[in-house]
Structure 1
Amino acid sequence: MFKSKKTLSKAAVLAAVPILALTACGGSADGGGDAAADGESLELTLAHSYNEDQPQALCGADVIKEEVEAADVGLTIEIYGASQLGGDADRIASVASGDVDIDIQGASALGGVYEPISVLDAAYAFDDADHLARFMESEEGMALIESFAEEAGIQTLGAWSAGARHFTSNEPISSPEDLEGMQIRFPGSPQFLMNADAMGANAVEVAYEELYLSLQQGAVDGQENPITNIESENLNEVQDYLNLTSHQLNTNLVIMSERWNELDEEQQEALSSAVETAVTEVTDCVATDEEETLAEWQEGSDWEVNDDVDVAAFQEQTVSNLEDALEGESLEAFEAIRGTSE
């Protein structure tokens, strides 16, 4: 079993398993960096779905580009944000085919090509970002990422949490019982819908682009997202409560196509280091943004921040229900995650 090279503080560890495995399977000191050897620059595409002012873009994708190009190893990165290169499923397929080099994806979306990886988005799987880091550094975490690479042909360069997800609503949600009868918008991926069922919510699938209007018109009673997304979409304008349930880490993986094999050793190290820096930067940016946003909302009158939430009751119910619902490798991954909880 491969071991990680270093520990990351308050962030998910760089997934060293696929990087080392690729080097063993064809990467070398000479590598495939012919462009660099000829004095030319090799351009990599980096795609994601986030707005330019969100942490995943500003402190993630932009930092990767800046760090890689500052290393001066014959690599440049062209960023295509806000789903310019397609939705999640389209971009995953493009990474697998090599049409997109690097992408930032939610774990649940990646479950479409390797189901167990979606468990990283299971409700109450992780206690916090430090717990995510411990799991990713564990043998079980390394094995999960390696299996994903073998199954999907997609490498993982790093992982971060872009904050915990919370419910918004027009009535306070303080316990699992409060969800009864509410129509709550969830993303349509299997893991999110399983989360909804485990928590006792009545899930309604609504496209993210239609979320504001659906809440405004009362088509759904509430929704769940991290604070960065809630702020970006101005949901405080169409909801009365932000309920701090912290029920799921919004986990992103930085994935790469087999083009990794075209990079020489120096380029691989520069890209790995750039992603490592971005992992830390995103974590710090999210924490700062959340603190500032919550303080602003608590002082303002747009809506009420409900911090009187029985998180223990939510977690106990949800974990028990997920252990019953998950099967096979997905259940093993979930149990391994919970096993690294302090």
Structure 2
Amino acid sequence: MRLFITLALAVWFAMHTRRGTGGTSAPGKKNSQVSGSVDASSSVELAQVKTGELGVKGRPTGPFARFPLSPTEAASLPQDARAWRRRDIPRIHEADQVRKDAAPGIRKALDDAVAEFLARSPDQAYTGGREKQLNGWIEQRDAATRRKHELQDLAKEGPLSEQQKKDLAEAKEEEGKLSKLIENAPPRLNGLEIHAIFERNINNRGAEILGPHAENYQLRAEAPYHIGGRGQHPENAPADLKMVYQRPDLVLERMSDGTAQYTAHTYDVKTGKAGITPEWEQKVERNARGLFQPEELRPTAQDRAELARMGKEIAAHANGRRVAP
């Protein structure tokens, strides 16, 4: 019975969302989207995820709206606009100017993050969790190498037992796997390190980047969202909602009295070859409900070439490194 009620509520909510019946807040009251972009309870949110009611299918060309747009309205909106409700049309016009004014500062925050990373030496490229992860792999690889050498030395003294032969084969296999892992790790770890520096830059420069818009908008890096909008960090989320979390690298939010009213725009930093996938874009649009198609931020072509070069240097340094027993 509880499942039936949950699904019934989800269908009712989805039907009303498609009709664009969501209204504006009453005078003197906070916007109903203050805690997110979709007004729904946890159980209804989960049901909507399972029934796929809130997915944006494909990558629309031209302004997307969940209600009929007049020719004048369609012509006035940017090509990447996302109008979830009719009240979003004036919001889109306002936010479009804000994102255009903020674009140079955001670009510089990314360029500076890449430049800071490229200025590091290969043995000091990573910090925090990235450094710990790489060092852990090196230690495991070196432990496997030591086991291999010990067994090879025993083999020089006489035949190995069947168990020792098995241990030697496993040590060689583990050493090879970890060496390959270390060799292939830099592109991903480079990206994670640049993301961390970019996040720090945004936190330090957000108001400066927004300039006069900082009174009504904020930039927030690594912002977690669930199906109901802005939420907790996934580690602190209810178990049944962890699967619906998304965390854009950067979001632009409309503020009121220090509280986020709605998400104006979402950004994703890409340092490798892969771009934004349709699946990721659909989930972010469903969860964050930004007013524009998610925007991809990339280092310059020259910086990408330098990152590839540095990645090879880091891999060579790490595979030539040995941790003392």
Output the TM-score relative to the length of structure 1. 0.24
Structure with the higher strand share, 1 or 2: 1
Which of the two has higher C-alpha Rg?
A: 2
With normalisation by structure 2, the TM-score equals 0.24
If each structure's helix is expressed as a fraction of its own residues, which one has the higher value? Answer: 2
